[in-house]
Structure 1
Amino acid sequence: MGKAQSFVYLKPANLVLRQSNKVTSNVNNGLTGQHGKRSSPMLRVNLSKFPSFIGHSSSRINRRTNEDTYSINMLKLPTSGSELSCIRNKTIADKKSHWETQLPLKKSVLNLSVFDGHGGDRVSKLLSMQLHNEVVATLPSREAFFKLLGQYKDVVGGEYWEKIYDKREQYFERFIANCNTKQEQVLFESGKSGSRMLFDSWGNIIDKTSLLSENERLRLFSSYLNFDFKYCCNVNNVSENDKVDGIPVGGSTASSIFITSYHEEASFDESFFISPEGLLKLVVTQVGDTKIVLCDKNGIAHSLTRMHHPSSSRESKRLGMGFQTDSFGDTRFLANFANTRSFGDSVGKQEGLSCEPDIYSYLIGNTRSLPHSEISKLQFGGDECFVCLITDGVSDLLSDQELVDLITSTVNLRGLKKATPQFVSEEVVRFIAAIGGRHADNATCLVLRLPNWGNWPSIDRTGAIREEKLMAGSSGSDRSNV
């Protein structure tokens, strides 16, 4: 199994590494030598205190409590080849011991997640503390996944889970075995044409439409469903204070990114994301209405997810029924829920209010090793600037482009040295506090710096709109103080 850590080890800039076999052989995570001792001085950096590369800010704004949470971790996972070998060649009984003793944890995956709780912060806090541990602890297998679906059918109950379990083979083939995110990429890039085949400068094919293996998708599906079943909905694992009529209350949406080097050997070093020389694999998971937005090299915003709202035709088709319109004209699921997927919310689990994630994968990063003719084939043109993870307290008040322009204009005005990802994430939350009304929702913003940070054009496309919102927010607060 893998492990998760809230820190990374970095090589000091003035360190000259010895090029000896004793240092480079038998390395588990790129940092230790033959006898488990650290082979050279390293800097241990907490990811939550890395302001020049990762920014994070959260505020209750005008609510009584803040039910938003987030997590920032480095996941250490077995390399794909070793993991697949373990799955295929060992029996179920032998897998765990073989996994723990034989598989080197070399692959580094940077994981950022944002969670928006409702009905209390129980579920969102659980997710921020434990979801990443569930992901790395999961040993994906077809048999275990089918057993988990059977538990949902027997314990949670309902026609929705009974139907999924009865058609589990078709479910597996559609969403895990044969889904390589090609459909999702077409949805976002339908206006673009061109070959799906991408070549590096040596003529090798880079398969941008098959960035996730069956095993990787199975790990995410299994860990999310298992976490929800064990910790969010199991009455035996929930205190009496968090139950109403014996049923656990509260839920949370969740959006996550998992970013690693496209070339697996380059991810053995935990600092791969600081100044990557090549392409990066960006995997996105979506449950609910928290959002993930990417800024390309031209300063254009791109939404990387589709929200799970009752107004979605896709969600209506999945669930079939149970939608009502409230007195404000908003469509609700089961007359209560603004989202059709979430963790927790046990009262709606039987009807399909599940945490089944949408999974998307994108190829981004440094294009230096690509021929010029190939760069246009990348989803966002390569050399992207940053990624934002936000809760609906931000996205309800700012459009994607307004969010990106707020960040880029802040950097342009303040300068790269002062306007770090940490500074701009705080600026986003301050802006929401300034324009939000008295009932404004909790606001959380995470910003991950990508290789082209700061190199966007000096254009503010939505400055006038943001200024108008700021003036309106100031006028509203002045009136409320009269």
Structure 2
Amino acid sequence: MIVPSARRVTGRAWALPGSYGFTRPRTLRKYSSEVATQSERPAIKKRPQFHDYFVTHLPSSSLHPDPRGPTSPFHKLPRSASIPHVGNTSHSPTTFQNLVDREMTVVRIPLRSAKHHFGAVTARGTRPRNEDTYQAGVIDVPAFAKRPPASLTIKRSNSPNSSRESRAADTANGDPQVFYFGIFDGHGGSECSTFLQENLHEYIQNSAADFELQSSLRTNQQRVSCGEAAATSVTTSTLPVMQEANRKRIGDLEKSLVQNWRQLVGGYFKRFKPPQFSYYGPDNSTENAASKGYVAIEEVMEYAFLRADLDFVKAQAAKRDDDLALAEKPLNEDEILHSPSLTRTPKIGGRSRFKGGSTGSIALISTPSPTPFWHPAGPSSLLVAHVGDTRILLCSTLTGQAVPLTSNHHPSSPIEAGRLRRYAATFVTDSFGEERMSGLANTRAFGDVQSKRIGVSAEPELCRVEMGPAEFSFMVMVSDGISGTLLDQEIVDIVKEARTPEQGARDVVSFATEVTREGDNATCLVIRLGGWERRLEGGVGSLGTKESREWRRQDATDPRRSRT
């Protein structure tokens, strides 16, 4: 039955239960006898919203003059009347007191336009098209940050300046905003990377809602000890804060997801046990924290990654190739997956089957207070979920060194080689000296439907960093078009010399495009952190790689370079 377009139908429209965005005119209701009546239909849960802007509080003078303020500018007042206002001291002028105590205004600031907080630049290079994509915004999930000590919370609440500090607005559930940054590098086309750009954040939001995940900032929240920190320059933890959730529902969802991978794909996934899934934990008989109704945000991220990859793979397996001879064969003769007849997913990624894939690196930042994560005095929690060879770096404010948070999932990695030796058909070395598995450079990726059975999965590598106030200057996310050309420290030093994150991202892409020999797609995201103003103070600043970068630029512009 063909449903008329919404423009030509008059009258009230209603939505089918369990569907998102699909509406049917009320006049067509008689054709759907299986649909329950209006009173019997369950209420449809509102879909979480993803915003590419952040909400903050600004003084009213930032938008329009304050009529209660003084008539003359402050810089023209005498020195005796220009003493900064602190608390309720008697030396502050009355006009200044009125200006400070006025109400703040809630403002929406587009994240991609806030060049002093975020910068993103992408370039096609010498490739015929750009297959890189990225995403940035505020995601609607409960906070996962560690709650600050009670002594610190009480001290801030009693401070007279606590209400005047720069702070962001709370979300609808009462938690501070959780920021979401993602970078995706497609191969074989941009269908998969575009799918992740448009949908991966929704998978994370829906997974948190399905798990019934609760905020980590509640006063009655129980926690699990994080153990000893890793021997690195950042504080990582393998057992982060545990949050309340529906443990029984989580077990059912995880069991169903793993069974779908086994039945649909087979091969590597027949003995597949996701490391973060507590349903397949080492000891489910004991009375541990997971069995009491608690879950970590890492488990939510792994479920969302595998769920998104499964839906994309199912959609591609259900399509026909362009070859007319293959199109006449029954679907059960398809050998790409173990049971292709189980694919019943709507069209994703175009009309024909997409055989390529995409990498993906996600960074979530949550704060324990309304103070934004870029505030110099505010701590925050960073969660990184990574698949492939895109890269995420931090710049240490104290030392100025680049701190990598991800590793490349290549066949040359001992961990990846050990994981896939029993399943992969062959490991070969190409003419550039790089190891490849069945022609692929990445051992973990979204998509790549023809290589799923040998173990090319979207199991994310997870890393959690508890960032102290101004501990790091900024965060950089780059695709392999940049990380394959520049060293980590070179990328960080280039950003140090920029005035804004937007200029830093542009300088990194420009320099990588200038000195590269491959001409791959290049994408760079720079996110400002608490120590941004002190980015040149640590170590030797940007001088550590300045000489080598100048030499590389001169070598790239040398006309004799093309002869070698």
Could you say whether these structures have the same fold, taking a TM-score greater than 0.5 normalized by the shorter chain as the test? yes
Are 1:135 and 2:241 an aligned pair? no
What is the deviation of 1:326?
Answer: 2.4
What is the deviation of 1:151?
Answer: 0.4
- Hey, what's the Cα distance between the residues in 1 that align with 2:277 and 2:52? 37
Are 1:145 and 2:254 an aligned pair? yes
- Hey, what's the Cα distance between the residues in 1 that align with 2:278 and 2:57? 48
Aligned counterpart in structure 2 of residue 63 of structure 1, from 94, 113, 127: 127
Q: How does 1:28-47 map to 2 (within 5 A)?
A: 41-47=105-111
Aligned residue in 1 for 2:311: 230
> Is the 1:230–1:237 contact (alpha carbons within 8 Å) kept by the matching residues of 2?
no
Secondary structure of 2:419's counterpart equals helix
> Is the 2:277–2:299 contact (alpha carbons within 8 Å) kept by the matching residues of 1?
no
Q: With a CA cutoff of 8 Å and minimum separation of 6, indicate the structure with the bigger relative contact order.
A: 1
TM-score computed with the length of structure 2 as normaliser? 0.61
Aligned counterpart in structure 1 of residue 408 of structure 2, from 299, 307, 310: 307
Secondary structure of 2:558's counterpart equals helix
Aligned counterpart in structure 2 of residue 155 of structure 1, from 252, 264, 267: 264
What is the deviation of 1:274?
Answer: 3.7
What is the deviation of 1:108?
Answer: 2.0
Consecutive unaligned residues in structure 1, runs of 5 or more: 17-38, 82-102, 179-212, 367-381, 412-418
- Hey, what's the Cα distance between the residues in 2 that align with 1:356 and 1:250? 17
Aligned counterpart in structure 2 of residue 449 of structure 1, from 528, 532, 538: 528
Aligned residue in 1 for 2:148: none
Q: How does 1:78-477 map to 2 (within 5 A)?
A: 78=142, 104=173, 106-138=175-207, 139-140=210-211, 141-158=250-267, 160-164=268-272, 172-173=280-281, 214-235=295-316, 248-261=354-367, 263=368, 266=369, 269=370, 272-275=372-375, 277-297=377-397, 298-321=399-422, 322=424, 323-334=427-438, 336-366=439-469, 383-408=471-496, 410-411=497-498, 419-437=499-517, 439-455=518-534, 456-457=536-537, 458-476=541-559
Q: Percent identity?
A: 29
Aligned residue in 2 for 1:208: none
Secondary structure of 2:205's counterpart equals helix
Aligned residue in 2 for 1:416: none
Q: Which runs of 4+ in 1 moved over 4 A?
A: 165-171, 174-178, 236-247, 476-480
What is the deviation of 1:328?
Answer: 3.3
> Is the 1:387–1:450 contact (alpha carbons within 8 Å) kept by the matching residues of 2?
yes
Distance 1:242 1:107, change over 3 A: farther
Secondary structure of 1:4's counterpart equals coil
What is the deviation of 1:242?
Answer: 12
| One-letter amino acid of the structure 2 residue matched with residue 255 of structure 1 | S
> Is the 1:276–1:365 contact (alpha carbons within 8 Å) kept by the matching residues of 2?
no
| One-letter amino acid of the structure 1 residue matched with residue 483 of structure 2 | S
- Hey, what's the Cα distance between the residues in 1 that align with 2:324 and 2:285? 38
Q: Deviations over 1:216-241 (max 9, x none)?
A: 12211111111111124423676867
- Hey, what's the Cα distance between the residues in 2 that align with 1:356 and 1:283? 15
Consecutive unaligned residues in structure 2, runs of 5 or more: 1-46, 63-102, 146-171, 212-249, 287-293, 327-333, 335-352
> Is the 2:306–2:459 contact (alpha carbons within 8 Å) kept by the matching residues of 1?
yes
> Is the 1:164–1:171 contact (alpha carbons within 8 Å) kept by the matching residues of 2?
no
Aligned counterpart in structure 2 of residue 10 of structure 1, from 21, 41, 56: 56
Distance 1:467 1:175, change over 3 A: farther
> Is the 1:153–1:161 contact (alpha carbons within 8 Å) kept by the matching residues of 2?
yes
Aligned residue in 1 for 2:151: none
Distance 1:10 1:384, change over 3 A: same
- Hey, what's the Cα distance between the residues in 1 that align with 2:322 and 2:481? 27
> Is the 2:509–2:522 contact (alpha carbons within 8 Å) kept by the matching residues of 1?
yes
Aligned residue in 1 for 2:138: 74
What is the deviation of 1:165?
Answer: 5.7
Secondary structure of 1:397's counterpart equals coil
| One-letter amino acid of the structure 2 residue matched with residue 361 of structure 1 | R
TM-score computed with the length of structure 1 as normaliser? 0.70
Q: How many residues align?
A: 371
Q: Deviations over 1:54-92 (max 9, x none)?
A: 0100001111111111000211223569xxxxxxxxxxx
Q: Deviations over 1:227-277 (max 9, x none)?
A: 11112442367686799967531100111111111x2xx1xx4x6224253
- Hey, what's the Cα distance between the residues in 2 that align with 1:248 and 1:175? 40
Structure with the bigger percentage of helix:
1
| One-letter amino acid of the structure 2 residue matched with residue 347 of structure 1 | Q
> Is the 2:555–2:561 contact (alpha carbons within 8 Å) kept by the matching residues of 1?
no
- Hey, what's the Cα distance between the residues in 2 that align with 1:397 and 1:61? 13
Distance 1:236 1:314, change over 3 A: closer
